[in-house]
Amino acid sequence: MAKEEAGKVDKVNLLGKELELTVKSGGDAVISMRKGDFDAVLAEKGVTKEVRETVRKAHDEIVADVLKFESDYLQKANKGKKEDNEKYIKSLETRLGSGDGSMAIKLTPHKVHTGKDIRTGKAYTTHKYGVASVTLNYAYAADVRREGGLLDQISKDFAKSLESK
C-alpha cells in the first residue's frame, strides 16, 4: 500500500450504520462504530442494556474474586524468593470453563519492558507490577466455521485472488 493512501478515510455501510474505514500507515485498515450505535445494533438483536449490565456485573465480580485469590496465592508462594529462583511463579492464570463463554484471568507480579526513545535514542527500562489480563472466549456460529461455511468460502476466495497476482 502506498504511503500516500495512509490516513485515507472512506464511508462504508455495515450493520445498517454508516461507518468510517481508516487506512493506517502500516497498511492495515480499521472500521469503527460508536458505542451508542453498537448498543442500538445489539438492542435490535434482542440484547438489552439491562442484560448487558447483568452480564458485565457478573464478570466484574468473578474477575475481582479471582484476582484477589491470585494475588494472595502469588504473594504467599513467592514470599522471600528472587525472580530468578526456579521456584518463583512468574504468573498465574485461572481458566474458567472452556470453549464458548469461558474466561481466562491472568496475573503477573512483575513485568519489565526495555525500549529505546525514538527521539533521543536513549535506552530505557520500565517496571510494571501486578499486571492483570482478562480474556473472554466466544465461539462464533458453527455454520460460519463448518466446512463449506463462510470462513471456508472466505479462505478460498483469498487464496484464489492472491494466486492470480
How much is the pLDDT for 5?
A: 64
**What confidence score (pLDDT) does residue 164 get?**
64
Distance CA 159, CA 151 (A): 12
Using the CB atoms, write b or e for 100-137: b if 16+ within 10 Å.
eeebbbbbbbeeeeeeeeeeeeeeeeeeeeeeeeeeee
Do residues 103 and 135 lie in contact, with contact meaning Cβ atoms separated by under 8 Å? yes
Residue 88's SS3 state is coil
Q: Write down the pLDDT at residue 115.
A: 94
* Predicted local confidence at residue 133, as pLDDT: 97
| Res 1: pLDDT | 43
Listed by start position, the domains of the chain span 48-163
pLDDT tens per residue across span 7-41: 678 899 999 999 999 988 888 899 999 999 999 99
pLDDT of residue 148: 85
Q: Which three cell numbers stand for residue 129?
A: 507490577
Q: Mark the ranges of the chain whose per-residue pLDDT is less than 70.
A: 1-7, 164-165
Do the Cβ atoms of 29 and 67 come closer than 8 Å?
Answer: no
